[in-house]
Structure 1
Amino acid sequence: MPKWTDKQQQVIDTRDCSILVSASAGSGKTAVLVERILQQVLDEDPTKRCNIDDFLIVTFTNAAAAQMRQKITERLEKALEEKPEDEHILKQLVLVNHADISTIDSFCMHLVKEHFSLLKLDSVFNIGDEGMLTLVRMEVIDRLFEVKYKQENNETFLSLIDLFGKDYDDEGLKKAVLRIAKISNSFPQPETWIDNAKSALCVDNAEDFEKLEFIQRCCEMFKNTLHEVRSLVLENEKLVENEDGYEKVILTAKKDIEKIDGILAANSYHEIHARVSEKWATIGRPSKDTDDTLYNVFKSKREAYKKLYEKSNVFKTSVENILEEYKQLREYLLPLLELTEEYMALYAKEKEKRKQVEVILQAIEENIGKQRKKQQKKAHIDKSIERERRPYAVSFSDGDCHFLPRLAFSFLASLRLARKFFSSRRTEIGEENRQANAYLKA
């Protein structure tokens, strides 16, 4: 039996909550995970024992999954040698061969195959090769654009081509449509994501703006960061609180706390915007007869938490200015989103026709999630999957999955960049038209 460190033992013994273990390679994360599972399976109290198939155990590679299954089997065999009459352990040795110990890809594929009818898939589907799917995407978007060119009253479509391309080239617009489709498909419900984006663009008053989900998420996430910043300020204050001659430095820390507490007390985007506009207090200096070493440490730490604050601060623009940006962007973004929806519908039909699915698990029926939650009460994920080419989402919650936070912070900044882009392209197009008219007149 290995000797666990205090931290490792804490992870093994923690129950009834979600935990995240972060450690370097070779530090024993997998061993701790296996021990944590086995202690729940082999608990001395029969009322607290779990079955091995109560767990969903996900790892990064097939080799790692096989190795983990082998480790669990070996430990169960050893436990049976010590207690040969224990029927529970014998049962686990039978169940371990059918336990969900796999890669995230395999687990998602199993879900799709098991519930293909609910997911409206053909029973004889296959995972599309990325090269083939790229050709299908280009074929579909070319077909869509051909239809659009032939339509009457297609001024909006042609204006988008002018906006995104140069010299009557439509490749820029195609890339924009494919990019939006790709982003939306990283969410469990792509159509809902686009609908929400369109709804957000149609907001034209401060009250409705404050009710937008991503704005509320922005406020929530910023406040979470502020709590972290506040802790860093308090640590910085303790660093100098007992030092003679540091009264002005301590006062700086107290003013920083006041600033943060003021923002934390705000209940809306408008209030947060008003309070983040207040500048940080000028840092005080210690008395001349003191050593500057500690002051330099204090100053360095202060700059670090100010950077953390600034990095998360997306509240520098007023609600009024954002609504004005919305108004300007609507003219271009709404038609662009609608064009993307048309492309996605055609692409989905083409994949269905070819009986192909992509290597991404999108939204599953809520009932499937509830069913899985009953089957597997505990989930363990070994090793990070952030290096995967596509994002995955596995949720057994009773409600909807929420993926908005990872885009919420960048949304407002993206709007401002979009406005600059559209403004610059309008200028370019206007200049091109003037040059063309001058040429024709000459």
Structure 2
Amino acid sequence: MAAFTDAQTDAINAQGGSVLVSAAAGSGKTTVLIERIIRMITRRENPIDVDRLLIVTFTRAAASEMKERLAKAINSLLENDPYNSLLLRQRQLMYNTSICTIDSFCGSVVREYFHILGVQKDFRLADENEIKVIGSEALESVLEDFYRENTPDFTALVDAFANKNGDDNLRAAVLKISDFLATQPFGDKWLDDMLLKYSPEIPVEQSLFGKILIKYARSMVDHSLLITINSIKLLDGDEKLRDANLPLLLDDKAYFEKLSERFEDGSWDEIKRFAETFVKGRLKTPKGYKDDPIKISIANSRDDVKKSVESICNIFMWSSEEIKNEIGYLSKTVAELFEVVKAYLSKFSEMKYAKNILSFSDVELLTV
């Protein structure tokens, strides 16, 4: 038996939940996995038959190596105990063990349940170029239908994305969202959930967009507070500079501390109103201090602070009412965009199924 480290032993014996093993190449991950499997199929209480395990690798070569090493490990145990019925059974079951790539596993599931999924059992996997051609034809067909209907919502959508190249941006957006949905197990639900985030009924500070903006503003406040505190500390080294500039810097410090508190419990409009109360003021330069390094340092820091405050005020430039009106307008545009995406995906699937082909992402989603 190989000697294992404490960490490897923990990975081998861990039960009752998921186990994540992160280790460098060549550190023995496969050996640890083989040992974990061996102990699961040979334990005295509730041993698991090896063909009840699903062992997934990234490549066919890795799957082949894994199967070979597992068979070798079982045969090695049989050399010392040739009449062990449990080991003999596991060696026999090795022929049915699922050691494969994720693509192979998903393909086998889809072919087994093709009658439920509405596909032909003899489907083939299309290559990337073929999928792109079909996708392009599907998008062209769908957009033609929308242009023909020419509803006000679609016209507004086209206008929102239009540029000198026509509707190229709209086409790119549809394809980008569709590619993303290929990674989601329940694409329609993701679209529906995302559309709910455009509800003008949600307080701005609690909305997806508000939270992102507040988080960004908070990072600038934290940075500004930090360099303000550092400037105050620098003043301790010079009495004249301290007497001349400490009150202004203490006001800055209080401003950022109170603004940070507003982020925690204030409404969007309360944050906006307070952000606009910053007093720019000017640092004072005592006689003979024009080129003083401490004076130059705190002056540069305060210029940085004032730029941050300008950026923060720009973030909170609009009132909550103005933002809600904008979100309400955007929700109609996004809803129409999602309708185009759904129509495209439906047409795309229809054209692929007509040719009896699937993409890798199709197979994975059908497995789910």
TM range (shorter): 0.5 to 0.7
Cα gap change, 1:86 to 1:203, in 2 (>3 Å): farther
Cα gap change, 1:325 to 1:79, in 2 (>3 Å): farther
Give 1:347 shift: 1.3
Number of the residue aligned with 2:173: 176
SS of the equivalent of 1:182 reads: helix
Q: Percent identity of the aligned residues?
A: 28
Give 1:160 shift: 2.5
SS of the equivalent of 1:58 reads: strand
- Which residue identity lines up with residue 79 of structure 1 in the other structure? L
Give 1:363 shift: 4.0
Number of the residue aligned with 2:35: 35
Give 1:154 shift: 3.1
Cα gap change, 1:161 to 1:40, in 2 (>3 Å): same
Taking structure 1 as the reference length, what is the TM-score of the superposition? 0.55
Deviation track 1:224-265 (CA, whole Å, cap 9, x = no partner) reads xxxxxxxxxxxxxxxxxxxxxxxxxxxxxxxxxxx9xxx9xx
For structure 1, the 5+ residue unaligned runs are 223-258, 264-268, 278-315, 366-393, 395-442
Number of the residue aligned with 1:154: 151
Number of the residue aligned with 2:303: none
The question of whether the paired residues in 2 share the 8 Å contact of 1:55 and 1:99 is answered with: yes
Question: 1:117 & 1:272 partners in 2: Cα distance?
Answer: 56
SS of the equivalent of 2:55 reads: strand
Q: Please say which structure displays the higher CA radius of gyration.
A: 2
The question of whether the paired residues in 1 share the 8 Å contact of 2:182 and 2:365 is answered with: no
Number of the residue aligned with 1:22: 22
Number of the residue aligned with 2:250: none
- Report 1:380-395 matches (<5 A): none
SS of the equivalent of 1:161 reads: helix
Of 75-84 and 355-364, deviating more is 355-364
For structure 2, the 5+ residue unaligned runs are 216-256, 272-314
Give 1:134 shift: 0.6
The question of whether the paired residues in 1 share the 8 Å contact of 2:200 and 2:325 is answered with: no
**What is the RMSD of the two structures over their aligned residues, measured on CA atoms?**
3.4
Question: 1:127 & 1:58 partners in 2: Cα distance?
Answer: 19
Question: 2:199 & 2:358 partners in 1: Cα distance?
Answer: 33
Cα gap change, 1:320 to 1:121, in 2 (>3 Å): farther
SS of the equivalent of 2:115 reads: coil
- Which residue identity lines up with residue 154 of structure 1 in the other structure? T
- Which residue identity lines up with residue 175 of structure 2 in the other structure? L
Cα gap change, 1:205 to 1:9, in 2 (>3 Å): closer
Question: 2:143 & 2:91 partners in 1: Cα distance?
Answer: 59
Give 1:324 shift: 5.3
The question of whether the paired residues in 2 share the 8 Å contact of 1:161 and 1:168 is answered with: no
The question of whether the paired residues in 2 share the 8 Å contact of 1:204 and 1:327 is answered with: no
SS of the equivalent of 1:20 reads: coil
Cα gap change, 1:270 to 1:185, in 2 (>3 Å): farther
Question: 2:189 & 2:122 partners in 1: Cα distance?
Answer: 27
Number of the residue aligned with 1:189: 186
Give 1:103 shift: 0.9
Number of the residue aligned with 2:101: 103
Matched length: 274
Question: 2:165 & 2:47 partners in 1: Cα distance?
Answer: 69
Cα gap change, 1:154 to 1:341, in 2 (>3 Å): same
Deviation track 1:376-420 (CA, whole Å, cap 9, x = no partner) reads xxxxxxxxxxxxxxxxxx7xxxxxxxxxxxxxxxxxxxxxxxxxx
- Report 1:115-134 matches (<5 A): 115-134=113-132
Number of the residue aligned with 1:338: 339
Number of the residue aligned with 1:136: 134
2:88 paired with 1:90: yes
Question: 2:27 & 2:266 partners in 1: Cα distance?
Answer: 42
The question of whether the paired residues in 2 share the 8 Å contact of 1:58 and 1:104 is answered with: yes
Cα gap change, 1:348 to 1:93, in 2 (>3 Å): same
Give 1:197 shift: 2.0
Taking structure 2 as the reference length, what is the TM-score of the superposition? 0.66
- Which residue identity lines up with residue 179 of structure 2 in the other structure? K
Cα gap change, 1:7 to 1:144, in 2 (>3 Å): same
Number of the residue aligned with 1:2: 2
Deviation track 1:77-97 (CA, whole Å, cap 9, x = no partner) reads 111121122111101001112
The question of whether the paired residues in 2 share the 8 Å contact of 1:206 and 1:319 is answered with: no
Number of the residue aligned with 1:202: 199
SS of the equivalent of 1:101 reads: strand
